[in-house]
Amino acid sequence: MPKRTEKEEIKRDGATGVKNSGRGMKKGDAQLNKFLIDYKHCGKSFTISLKNWRKHAKDSWNDQYRHPCYGLVLGENSECKLAVIDWNVFRELVGGSDYE
- Give the count of domains, the chain: 1
pTM of the model: 0.85
- Domain containing 52 equals 29-100
Residue 55 lies in a domain: yes
**Identity (one letter) of the amino acid at 46?**
F
Among candidates 4, 26, 23, 3, which has minimal Cα distance to 13? 4
Which DSSP helix (H) or strand (E) runs through 53? helix 50-62
Q: What are 31-41's pLDDT values in tens digits?
A: 999 999 999 98
Residue 8 lies in a domain: no
Q: What are 38-94's pLDDT values in tens digits?
A: 999 888 888 999 999 999 999 899 888 999 999 999 988 778 999 999 999 999 999
The per-residue pLDDT for 57 is 94
41, β-bridge pairs? 73
Residue 13 lies in a domain: no
Alpha helix segments (H runs only) across 17-66: 50-62
The per-residue pLDDT for 22 is 56
